[in-house]
Amino acid sequence: AVYLLGRPLRGRESAGLNRGGTFGGVGAEMGRDAASASKQDSRIQRVYEEVLSSSQLRVSLQDVLPVTVVAVERYLAEIPPASNLPQPPASASPPRPAPLPSYCYDVTITDGMCQEKCHLAHEQNFLLHKNILQSGSQVKITQCSYMYNEKKLACGFLCIESLEIVGMCETPNRQKEYSEKLIMPLKGGKKHYLPLWNNEDPYGDMWVQNRVLEEATVNAKLISLSHLETSWRGKINYQPLLVRILHKSRLRYYGKPYAKADIPYQAYFEVADNSGMMSMVLWNSLCPEWYNIMKVGTVLLIEKYAVKTSYPFKTLPTPGDSQMKRFATIEINLNVRDPPTKINIIPEKMVKPEWNLPDVKYRFITRSELDSLPTSHSCDIIGLVRFVGRAERTRKREHGEDFWIHRWAHVVDGTSEQPFILELFATSQPDIFEHIHPMTYLVCTQMRVVRDVSQNASSTLYLTTSNESQMFVTGWHKGQPYAKDTKVKSFIQWIKTQREADHMEKTAIGGYYPFPPAPHTFVKYCNNNKVESVLTTISEMEKEIENLHYREHKRIAIQGIISVIRYVSCSSRTEDSSGVEPVQVQCLRINRQSRPGPPGLATISTAAHGPLCKKRLRDLAGSEVLNVLRPSPGGDRPPRPPMPSLCHNEERMSDASESEESEGTVHDSWQSDLWTRVKDNLKERFHYSNAFPESIPRKFDYMHKEFLMEQYNLHPAQHKPKEYKTKKAVNEFKSADYFGQYEVTILGINHDVAIDVAFLPVHSPEDLHIFYSENIQNDTLLSHMSCISLHSQETTNKEGLHKTLSLSDEIIKAAIDLERQHVICILDICHLAEDKVEVFLNKIYKIVEDNMMNQT
């Protein structure tokens, strides 16, 4: 069993246990403990005994039974050995840049009787980067070693060097919930763990959630913020401050491999009294003690604090009261020493009117007001969530291991047909961020307007969080200062007039969300891109994909030639009992009455084609044009890897397709003449046209709310018993208006490699695809590919999916217009987990823009 280490769970207070929870010594005392524990017949204990008895303190294990991973925890690694080398003289070469932070992982395992924390060897970190190894995994440990800390007595831990993952725990409710209380990591000198997927969220028991408030006496010997600003120099001790918190920033983790701080955290607050507003900084170990308790609106009595000149590059919130004076030259610093700060929270019921503390004020807007607001305008919003996307991660620095976590949401407030489109980054409120779901009431504060105006005056408009944003969902609104705001009250009155069913039918959760759209010009795309080389070669894409971490989203640009377009629809009518949605290849009957075309080409009937879009191109003239544009009956069908995601029987479909072809049908696809000549001589062809179940937004279902939220949040660091009884897989939930996709083959400009990617034309409820008119209005091919799916949806709703579908004349003509042309394709790539990577086409640029050549 993949059990390493251990001893029975006999109480962590035992003197023989080290900081990691394992036996720490050697010799007779450890042997006695181990012998006693072995009576429990623990698989982990047996492995522990075997590795300690090895002369190399390392063993390879065979025929072991699996153990369950109950926790995966991350912490900052020590300085790599190469970084400790002396720096070369300044005259010889420039100094080396500071190494990017890297991280270690501890894994806690259990066999049902024994629970043990082990270190994961660095070579196995990729299993966690890809979320292949995760809490709840069942693993077999095939090689492990024991490592002593040579600078401490009786201190050591087990290191997992090789393991085999055999599946997920099938009966999680029978496993003990992770309950480790020792917070210190096994390796190195770090004193705390970090959240598994980012650095901004509080994680672990050291973060205090509630505190018994001590009675504090507020005397007359207070100093105002205005007086403090004018008299702070030359002093060490200051009179107490009585202030109210008006704004709160997300946490900032500033740990470095070479830094000495034990708890390197920082958080900014904006506090105010009747004289004005000033920044206050919470440092280091005071962050776990106070950050969660200090809320917007909290009244503080602060004694023994430091005053320093303000950091000039920090962000500042926009005050709700535009008349409030801001003291920006200094900031209040709270630390555990120099001097040791004393903080008291004054309950709101004890706040006296004569203190004249300002109320928290907001800048709420309605959706109808948003269109007139300028870029970077700060505002607060409230609304009903209709859509929330999956949590994704974006790398902070190229090649680094630090990530931002974000998700998209659509929120309505009844003042407009359009929703608020929100880009929500983690705000150090994980309990709220992970519980945003459709039909909850969402409040977001200190949001910033993002408006990208194109040359034709259309614009992309959405709101994004700032460093000082706070979010609240249903269940968290009670007692919040914004409850008194007029626009919040108006929203509540509107909600009371609504029927829940009317909104439920428009909800969706998760899936691929192609927002924000790529800029309208490639020049602007280049200007917005911070990497050294904007363009990636098709051959380099494999490396890009290989380097993706779990849920990492990345947008890349490649040059190529559009060579094949194929429409694949997904029929809910053919879903089997397992809930897997088969992919059905749509075919067209050959119109044998039509005039024969050139040799080798088939003429296709267009009788079934109806109006596809309000802005459709004028009809193509002449059947000869159609003859040239359509593929031959034996047209290319690119080979594709197995698709367990949507298609469970590719072989059966292939047989069916061949059978239909023999009866005189063709695939609903188009291929260029160039493709027919080069496809058999390619050096490489990459297949990334799969749409996985996780790629498709699902209709929200209250009965399965907990399950759906779990699917689209990031995998938790700690294993917990499931709180739901859902037995369905995610692909058994009804999709949100998903009726198919396009597979697009992009040929490399040197005609030696190609890549298959997907395009999702319509993938969400009616208010979710509002951005398509902005995203693709200057992209003729994708514009018509989107329109055909809108048409297909109407056809499906009225006449069933069995109706014949086809590529429209507009799509074919747009593709022909691009034939043999070099274009730039913007691709959205995202690592979903394990070996599942989605690659979607977002935008196509023609290489005709002025100065474009200089941008790459």
- Per-residue pLDDT of 103-127, as tens digits, reads 999 999 999 889 999 999 999 999 9
CB 575 within 8 A of CB 649: no
22 pLDDT above the threshold of 90 = no
Q: Which helix (H) or strand (E) holds 561?
A: strand 553-570
Least confident of 153-162, 212-221, 310-319, 500-509: 212-221
Structure confidence at residue 682 (pLDDT): 96
pLDDT category of residue 642 using cuts at 50, 70 and 90: very low
Structure confidence at residue 768 (pLDDT): 43
Q: Report the b/e string of 269-280 with b at 16+ CB within 10 A.
A: bbbbbebbbbbb
pLDDT category of residue 181 using cuts at 50, 70 and 90: low
Distance separating alpha carbons of residues 482 and 480, to the nearest angstrom = 6
Using alpha carbons, list the distances in angstroms from residue 425 to 154, 275, 344, 407, 422: 43, 33, 31, 7, 10
Contacts of 384 (CB under 8 A, 6+ apart): 411, 412, 413, 439, 440, 441, 442, 495, 498, 503
CATH architecture of 380-509: Beta Barrel (2.40)
626 pLDDT above the threshold of 50 = no
- Per-residue pLDDT of 142-153, as tens digits, reads 999 999 988 777
572 pLDDT above the threshold of 70 = no
User: Which stretch, 62-71, 250-259, 415-424, has highest mean pLDDT?
Assistant: 415-424
- Per-residue pLDDT of 484-525, as tens digits, reads 999 999 999 999 999 999 999 999 999 999 888 888 888 888
Structure confidence at residue 90 (pLDDT): 55
Distance separating alpha carbons of residues 262 and 256, to the nearest angstrom = 11
User: Average pLDDT of 33-61?
Assistant: 78
- Per-residue pLDDT of 425-465, as tens digits, reads 999 999 999 999 999 999 999 999 999 766 454 578 999 99
Least confident of 17-21, 304-308, 828-832, 840-844: 17-21
Please give the share of the chain, as a percent, with pLDDT higher than 90. Answer: 56
The amino acid at residue 847 is I
User: Average pLDDT of 568-593?
Assistant: 38
Structure confidence at residue 531 (pLDDT): 62
- Whether the link from the prior residue into 514 is cis, omega within 30° of 0, is no
pLDDT category of residue 95 using cuts at 50, 70 and 90: low
Structure confidence at residue 644 (pLDDT): 37
Burial class (CB in 10 A: 0-12, 13-18, 19+), 86: exposed
Q: Which helix (H) or strand (E) holds 278?
A: strand 276-283
Domain 1-80+99-193 listed as CATH 2.40.50.140: yes
pLDDT category of residue 767 using cuts at 50, 70 and 90: very low
Structure confidence at residue 40 (pLDDT): 56
Structure confidence at residue 634 (pLDDT): 38
369: left (phi over 0), alpha (psi -120 to 50) or beta: alpha
Structure confidence at residue 802 (pLDDT): 40
Query: How many CB atoms are closer than 10 A to CB 665?
Result: 19
How many helices (H) and strands (E) are present in the chain, helices listed first?
A: 18, 32
Q: DSSP letter string over 310-332?
A: PPTT---PPPSSTT--EEEEEEE
Structure confidence at residue 260 (pLDDT): 80
User: Average pLDDT of 45-53?
Assistant: 90
Structure confidence at residue 631 (pLDDT): 36
660 pLDDT above the threshold of 90 = no
Which pairing describes strands 378-388 and 403-412: parallel, antiparallel, or unpaired? Answer: antiparallel
Structure confidence at residue 778 (pLDDT): 56
- E strands, 304-399, are 306-309, 326-334, 342-346, 378-388, 392-395
pLDDT category of residue 738 using cuts at 50, 70 and 90: confident
**Distance from first CA to last CA of the chain, Å, rounded?**
53
Distance separating alpha carbons of residues 608 and 803, to the nearest angstrom = 9
Structure confidence at residue 339 (pLDDT): 87
- E strands, 596-703, are 665-667, 669-671, 684-688
- pLDDT top residue among 639 and 821: 821
Please give the share of the chain, as a percent, with pLDDT higher than 70. Answer: 73
Structure confidence at residue 88 (pLDDT): 54
27 pLDDT above the threshold of 50 = no
- The mean pLDDT of the chain is 79
| Encoded tokens for 543 | 């490396």
CATH architecture of 225-355: Beta Barrel (2.40)
Taking Cα atoms as reference points, which of 272, 257, 265, 330 lies closest to residue 97? 257
Length of the chain: 856
**Where in the sequence of the chain do the CATH 2.40.50.140 domains occur?**
1-80+99-193, 225-355, 380-509
Each as own residue / partner, the long-range contacts of residues 775-779 (CB below 8 Å, 24 or more positions apart, any chain) are 775/460, 775/514, 775/515, 775/517, 775/518, 775/842, 775/843, 776/517, 776/843, 777/456, 777/458, 778/454, 778/456, 778/520, 779/843, 779/844
- Per-residue pLDDT of 810-851, as tens digits, reads 888 888 888 889 999 999 999 998 889 999 999 999 987 555
- pLDDT top residue among 599 and 719: 719
Q: What is the DSSP letter of 822?
A: -
| Encoded tokens for 122 | 């660095």
Helix-strand-coil split of the chain, %, nearest 5: 20, 30, 50
Distance separating alpha carbons of residues 467 and 427, to the nearest angstrom = 8
Structure confidence at residue 7 (pLDDT): 36
CB 331 within 8 A of CB 279: yes
Distance separating alpha carbons of residues 311 and 193, to the nearest angstrom = 28
| Encoded tokens for 74 | 């991350």
- Per-residue pLDDT of 222-250, as tens digits, reads 999 999 999 998 888 899 999 999 999 99
